[in-house]
Amino acid sequence: MKQSQLIKGVLEGCVLAIISQGETYGLMQALHHHGFPSLVGGTLYPLLAKLEKGGDIVSIKKPSPDGPARKYYMLTPQGKETFQNFQHQWSQLSGHVNQLIDEVHSNDENPGHPG
């Protein structure tokens, strides 16, 4: 399975996670830093626009010493709730997946005892 397909489902939650840490700009660098090195703007910008349109994040412009004002993103109360739901879902999903993988490993080590 391509990594990009796996990432698609969780990227939204990861973007919310980064923004939840405080007013953010330069999300691409933050996501690269957090283990999404192959992420491109073609994926990120439409996702940000979707989250903003859906009311999970808002953006404000703040002056920048390097040039024109930058767009900073913040979570809205709805976005905080979406992020909490994501954490809950991710915790369940990752638990189930890890359990399944552990079972596979254990079966590999003991081929005579399935399940």
Partner 1 sequence: MTKTQATLDEINRLTEQLAPADQAYFTDLQLYLSTAGLFYDEAQLNDQLLNMLLDLREANQHGQSARAFFGNDPQTMGNHLIQQFPQPKLRDQLGLFSLLLGISWVFQILSSPQTAGGLSLNLVAFILVPILEICAIILIIRILHTSIYPNNHHQWWPYLLTGLIVTITISLIVILNSWVTVGWTFLIPDPWHTILLAAMAIGATVYLLGALLHRWRHHQA
Binding site for partner 1 (CB under 8 A): 26, 28-29, 40-43, 45-46, 49-50, 52-53, 61, 67-68, 70-71
Tell me the one-letter amino acid at 24.
Answer: T
CB nearer partner 1, residue 71 or residue 80: 71
State the minimum distance, in angstroms, from the CB of residue 72 to partner 1: 10
Give whichever of 70 and 80 is closer to partner 1, judged by the CB atom: 70
Closer CB to partner 1, residue 52 or residue 80? 52
Sequential DSSP letters for 51-112: HHHTTSEEEEEEEETTEEEEEEEEE-HHHHHHHHHHHHHHHHHHHHHHHHHHHHHHHHH-TT
Would you call 36 helix, strand, or coil by DSSP?
A: coil
Angle (CA) 82-41-47 rounded to 5° is 20
- The nearest distance, CB 64 to partner 1, in angstroms, is 8
CB of 52 to partner 1, least distance (A): 8
